[in-house]
């Protein structure tokens, strides 16, 4: 018997930047046992992220910006080093990540490669994140980056050696899951250390 789930009720707790619902549901297990459970589900939409790399220079482009939730959870400055990322809105993942890359880093990409799709926190968040990698060069730098003022973004663009970026995972300077995953992907598939 396949597990079966039936929604019994949904209550909207917040509908601001994303939607937070309290969901009561009935879940039938493979052995026929029926459980009634309640969970909160946060729907903020899906997103895309990308690691820019330069194999010749052995460098990657990352960003640094303030993330309020990390500050609430003990990050003294709230600053996070991350791969470029953004919400899909109504665009497809590749279109989104090309736009976000220009806005955040100032690079206009020629080719991007999708490498995986990941539920980042499936216990409470609906988001699927689409992961990309792309080679970059100085010739692709068409703007300053830094994000959009109308979105109140204040993003610092970082070009780091790949070796230093991996070291920042080990020493705790990089704690962002999507960034760690893409750097590890690059270690296995791009730079082959």
* Residue 154, domain CATH: 3.90.79.10
Question: Which tens digits make up the pLDDT trace of 92-106?
Answer: 999 999 999 999 999
pLDDT band at 17 (very low <50, low <70, confident <90, very high): confident
State whether 82 and 96 are in the same domain.
yes
Beta strand extents in 44-193 (DSSP E only): 47-54, 59-66, 79-82, 84-87, 113-119, 128-135, 156-161
Cβ neighbours of 80 (radius 10 Å): 20
**54 shares a domain with 8:** no
For residues 158 and 86, state if they share a domain: yes
Residues 160 and 71 in one domain: yes
Looking at the predicted structure, is the pLDDT value of residue 149 above 70?
A: no
Average confidence (pLDDT) over 144-164: 80
pLDDT at 107 over 90: yes
pTM, full prediction: 0.90
User: According to the annotation, is 165 in a ligand binding site?
Assistant: no
More confident residue, 188 or 152: 188
Q: What is the pLDDT of residue 75?
A: 85
Task: Please count the structural domains in the chain.
Answer: 2
Q: Are residues 20 and 68 in the same domain?
A: no
Q: Are residues 162 and 142 in the same domain?
A: yes
Average pLDDT score, the chain = 91
Is 100 annotated to bind a ligand? Reply is yes
Q: Could you give the 3-state DSSP secondary structure of residue 115?
A: strand
Q: Are residues 13 and 103 in the same domain?
A: no
- Mark whether 33 and 111 lie in a shared domain: no
Which residues are bridge partners to 84 per DSSP?
50
DSSP class of 157: E
Structural domain boundaries, residue 11: 4-43
Tens-place pLDDT, residues 57-82: 999 999 999 888 889 898 889 999 99
The answer to whether the CB of 178 falls within 8 A of the CB of 120 is: yes
Asked if the model's pLDDT at residue 112 lies above 60, the reply is yes
Residue 152 has pLDDT above 60, yes or no: no
Average pLDDT value for residue range 18-30: 94
Per-residue confidence at 83, pLDDT binned at 50, 70, 90?
A: very high
| Residue 85 among known ligand-binding residues | yes
The pLDDT of residue 151 is 64
Q: pLDDT above 90 covers what percent of the chain?
A: 78
* pLDDT score, position 159: 96
| 52 — pLDDT class (breaks 50, 70, 90) | very high
Residues 35 and 51 in one domain: no
101 and 174 in a single domain? The answer is yes
The reply to whether 94 sits in an annotated binding site is: no
| pLDDT reading at 153 higher than 70 | no
């Amino acid at each position: 018997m396949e597990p079966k789930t039936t929604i019994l009720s949904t209550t909207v707790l917040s509908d601001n930047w994303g939607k937070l619902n309290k969901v009561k549901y009935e879940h039938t297990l493979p052995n026929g046992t029926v459980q009634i459970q309640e969970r909160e589900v946060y729907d903020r939409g899906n997103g895309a992220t990308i690691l820019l790399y330069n194999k010749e220079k052995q460098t990657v482009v990352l960003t640094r910006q303030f993330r309020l939730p990390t500050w609430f959870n003990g990050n003294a400055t709230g600053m996070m080093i991350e791969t470029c990322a953004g919400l899909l809105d109504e665009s497809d993942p590749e279109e989104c990540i090309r736009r976000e890359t220009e806005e955040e880093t100032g690079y206009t990409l020629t080719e991007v490669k999708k490498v995986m799709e990941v539920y980042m926190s499936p216990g409470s968040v609906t988001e699927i994140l689409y992961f990309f990698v792309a080679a970059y060069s100085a010739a692709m730098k068409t703007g300053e980056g830094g994000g959009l003022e109308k979105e109140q973004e204040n993003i610092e663009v970082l070009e780091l050696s790949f070796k230093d970026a991996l070291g920042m995972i080990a020493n705790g300077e990089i704690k962002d899951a999507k960034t760690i995953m893409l750097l590890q992907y690059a270690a296995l598939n791009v730079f082959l250390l």
